[in-house]
Chains A and B, each alone.
Chain A
Amino acid sequence: MQKNRSLLALILVLVIAAIVALVNVPFRLGLDLQGGSQLTLLVRPSPEVPQITSSVMEAVQSVVRNRVDALGVSEPIVQSVGTDQILVQLPGVSDPAQAERVLGGTAVLEFREETASQEIRVQLDVRIQEATQIALELEALKASGEQGQIAEKQAEFDRKREEIQALNLQLYEKTPLTGSNLEDAYPEPAQVGAGAWNVGLVFDNEGGELFAQLTRNLAGTGRTLGIFLDEKLISSPTVPAEFATTGITGGRAVIQGNFTVQDANELAVQLRGGALPVPVEIVENRTVGATLGRDSIVRSIYAGIGGLVLVLIFMVVYYRLPGVIADLSLVIYAILTLASFSLLGVTLTLPGIAGFILSIGMAVDANVLIFERTREELRAGKSLYRSVESGFYRAFSSILDSNVTTLIACVALFWLGAGLVKGFALTLGIGVAVSMFTAITCSRTLMFLAISVDDLRKPELFCPNLQNVRKV
């Protein structure tokens, strides 16, 4: 009885602690429940970086984290998965397009100097004229609504644009000034034109000097400064002659690209975060709207609770007094398991909730095994006390073996699975472990407490129709 009493105290303490934990530590809901985006980035090797080592992964991860932080998402998760993937979770983001653009872009910023050669410039001017002509024809066609011809013209225009891009690359020579010299980048409204935005740049000391040198070279020559982003010319300002002696000093510049406020902000984010050392590709994007997630959580939880209530009723009807005790320990089980979820920081996903509901089934199974055994012993004519005792004792090896095999499956899932699968394995595994404790300790303690009360010490409360069986 002494042992029984201390066990009872232990259970009570655990339950109170669990309730305190549940009240104070909020659950971490998965993106499928609270809504948001989950992106998986695949890191690819490049000619410069032929192998993805862990230090490359760390570098990519830190750039990605910087960009995520700049997006202003609360509680984002950035973690590497396997050897070459990065998982990014953005709770509450319902427009994944922006996140995708910001995270996937390499954003290599370069400042190039126009060559003195006139030949390419002339070619380029001709191409630009041709492109303008095609663009005009395209507009005219769009008014007529002739689908086939529009597509043809559009293709011609795209070809022309590519030619221009190629010529641009020839026209400009690389300089030592790149995005790595940036200290800051920020969107700022353009002075002219409503709604147009620029990206302001601040260079570090070295970058400031390089920029001054570059602008000094170009000032007054009529040649332009090419600002390239990912090998594409974004803007090509000229430098006024007045800077011919000193160049533009102070280490500040502006990219005028006639941006929208969103584009300007995205570009600034990409530039601030630094360039990715290797290209990344977005291989997975799962976005769930917030309401959709809430709908399915509510419906699934109601369905699960409905089923559980039926289980609780069934236990009392079928197993009588032990059924009541099983229900009590099932409730304790649910409280303890949920508390371990929130204490261990388990992210609850929809499959995770399913895993939890299933683990309740497991917890019931252990009780059913014990009570069936108890009934057998009673039918065999043993005393109530001995029946209950050997019920627990005999059922133990079955409970152990069956739970260990389930745990083996959980470990395999957790070890090899990813994302949703991992969450499910973890919740089911925790559930199974806690159910062993509650079935063996809680049910047992409560059961012996019950049979220490005279009024409850009636075999009929444990096994209906026991007399009939004995008479046979």
Chain B
Amino acid sequence: MRLNINKQRQLWWTLSAAVVVAGLISMVISWQQLGAPLRPSLDFVGGTRLQLELDCSVPGNCDRPIESGTVRSILTSQGLGSSSIQVVGEERQALSIRTSTLDVEQRTQLVNSLTEELGSFDAQKSQIDTVGPTLGRQLFTQGLLALIVSFAGIIVYLSFRFQFDYALFAIVALFHDVLITVGIFSILGLVLGSEVDSLFIVALLTIIGFSVNDTVVIYDRIRETLAQDKLNRPIDQIVDEAVNQTLGRSINTTATTMLPLVGIFLFGGETLKYFALALIVGFLAGVYSSLFLASTLLTWWRERNGQGMSPVPEGPTPGEASPDSNEG
């Protein structure tokens, strides 16, 4: 298999732009509907979430499924009518309620009236989260700050190890990966109602770490090939060659990272499901951007600045797929 990355670079750029734009559109729609580009979870907007499950060891407790109407009327009588209610679980014996921030008394009162109407809950299987709105903002700004700091750190390191233009396009590729992941989760938020929590920020930072890996490996190869090139070949050939030489590694690494992630997504606990999905989306975007964007952008930039070596020969020569790493 041999890819001529640079020949079709318009195509790769268009493809990426299309996905990014779709995400941006979704973020605008979501902004109008929800007041935020992504559907924010409790972590960011504050509030109380109660996850309760009926205690089925108590006889007669789990006879009938929970009716959301009953729950709704209990909440309304306590002035919490605007809360979201979900009856979950196969047997519909579990309940997930999200309300505005409740203090201890309000919460105890709510749980007590729910217990009165529905039966006793199993404390071992319940989860209660209360996050104040200020804390949510703080989490968000901290996350954003961490994102910016790692971007800056990576630019500095790559400028030092490579050159500034390498660093710049590595960051462009990173932005692309982050935008695609955020965009897809914005779409998921609109379509499936999935929310982003603080783990999502963790996922974004991991994506940065991983996808810059890929870009660095390819850039490393470009730099090496450039240094060893005695024929003064044009930059696009050198970049194509470097990408092809690292292709096997890119595919294998992505495959081996995807295996545990897909495992967690399909079979893991509820908490990690969307975390794993964010990583899957981001890593795939990361491999794509390393192979098709970071490399072609570097080529384009060097050609534009007259660093493209000798002029591009007419027509590509895909047949000459010989191993080129013969150094003296």
Contacts and interface: CB of A to CB of B under 8 A. Distances in A.
B66 interface: no
B146 A42 contact: no
Contact of A299 (B221, B249, B267): B267
Interface string A273-311: 000000001111111111110011101101110111011
Contacts of B139: 418
Interface in B119-165: 122-132, 134-135, 139, 142-143, 145-147, 149-150, 153-154, 157-158, 161
A24 interface: no
Nearest to A354: B272
A420 B202 contact: yes
A350 B146 CA distance: 20
Contacts of B323: 376, 379-380, 469
Nearest to B142: A416
Nearest to A400: B161
B198 interface: yes
B269 A358 contact: no
The interface size bin for chain A is 35 or more
Contacts of B125: 289, 291-292
Contacts of B130: 282, 284-286
A377 to B, nearest CB: 8
B178 to A, nearest CB: 12
A106 to B, nearest CB: 14
Contacts of A100: 103-104
A415 B216 CA distance: 24
A182 interface: no
26 contacts: A94-B124, A100-B103, A101-B104, A283-B135, A292-B126, A296-B272, A299-B267, A307-B261, A307-B262, A314-B252, A355-B206, A358-B260, A364-B253, A365-B257, A368-B249, A368-B253, A368-B256, A398-B221, A401-B161, A401-B216, A402-B216, A405-B216, A406-B210, A408-B157, A418-B139, A428-B209
A417 B134 CA distance: 16
A412 B257 contact: no
B259 A292 contact: no
A380 B325 contact: yes
Contacts of A361: 210, 253, 256-257, 260
A275 B95 CA distance: 38
A420 B212 contact: no
Contacts of B123: 94-95, 289
Given A282-B130, A296-B269, A365-B213, A304 B143 contact: no
A404 B157 contact: yes
Interface string B249-293: 100110111011111101111111001100100000000000000
Contacts of A300: 264, 268-269, 272
Contacts of A416: 142-143, 145-146, 149
Interface of A: 32, 35, 40, 42, 94-97, 100-101, 104, 147, 281-292, 295-297, 299-300, 302-304, 306-308, 310-311, 314-315, 318, 350-351, 354-355, 357-358, 360-362, 364-365, 368-369, 372, 376-377, 379-380, 394, 397-398, 401-406, 408-413, 415-421, 424-425, 428, 469
Contacts of A351: 199, 202, 272, 275
Contact of A314 (B134, B216, B246, B256): B256
Given A296-B268, A307-B260, A364-B256, A97 B108 contact: yes
Interface of B: 51, 77, 103-104, 107-108, 122-132, 134-135, 139, 142-143, 145-147, 149-150, 153-154, 157-158, 161, 198-199, 201-202, 205-206, 208-210, 212-214, 216-217, 220-221, 224, 245-246, 248-249, 252-253, 255-257, 259-264, 266-272, 275-276, 279, 323, 325-326
* Residue picked from A306, A308, A354, A420, most chain B C-beta under 10 Å: A354
Given A289-B124, A297-B269, A368-B253, A421 B198 contact: yes
B128 A350 contact: no
Contacts, number: 246
A424 B272 contact: no
Contacts of B276: 354
A289 B256 contact: no
Nearest to B270: A296
Interface residue SS majority, chain B: helix
Contacts of B263: 303-304, 306-307, 310
Nearest to A369: B249
A415 B149 contact: yes
B206 A398 contact: no
Given A282-B104, A283-B135, 15 more contacts: A42-B134, A285-B129, A296-B272, A350-B271, A354-B272, A354-B276, A361-B253, A365-B213, A368-B253, A380-B325, A409-B209, A416-B142, A420-B198, A421-B202, A424-B202
Nearest to A370: B249
B213 A406 contact: yes
A318 B127 CA distance: 44
A94 B103 CA distance: 17
Nearest to A104: B104
A412 B271 contact: no
A368 B10 CA distance: 31
Contact of B269 (A295, A401, A411, A413): A295
A272 to B, nearest CB: 20
Contacts of B217: 369, 398, 401-402
A402 to B, nearest CB: 4
Contacts of B131: 283-284, 286
Contact of A291 (B104, B124, B224): B124
B132 to A, nearest CB: 3
A461 B156 CA distance: 42
A303 B104 contact: no
A430 to B, nearest CB: 14
B44 to A, nearest CB: 12
Given A289-B124, A291-B124, A300-B264, A350 B135 contact: no
Contacts of B77: 147
A32 B268 CA distance: 14
Contact of B268 (A94, A303, A364, A417): A303
Given A97-B104, A314-B255, A409 B205 contact: yes
Nearest to A291: B124
A405 B212 contact: yes
Q: Would you list the 3 A-B pairs with minimal beta carbon distance, nearest first?
A: A296-B269, A307-B260, A283-B132
B264 to A, nearest CB: 5
Contacts of A311: 256, 259-260
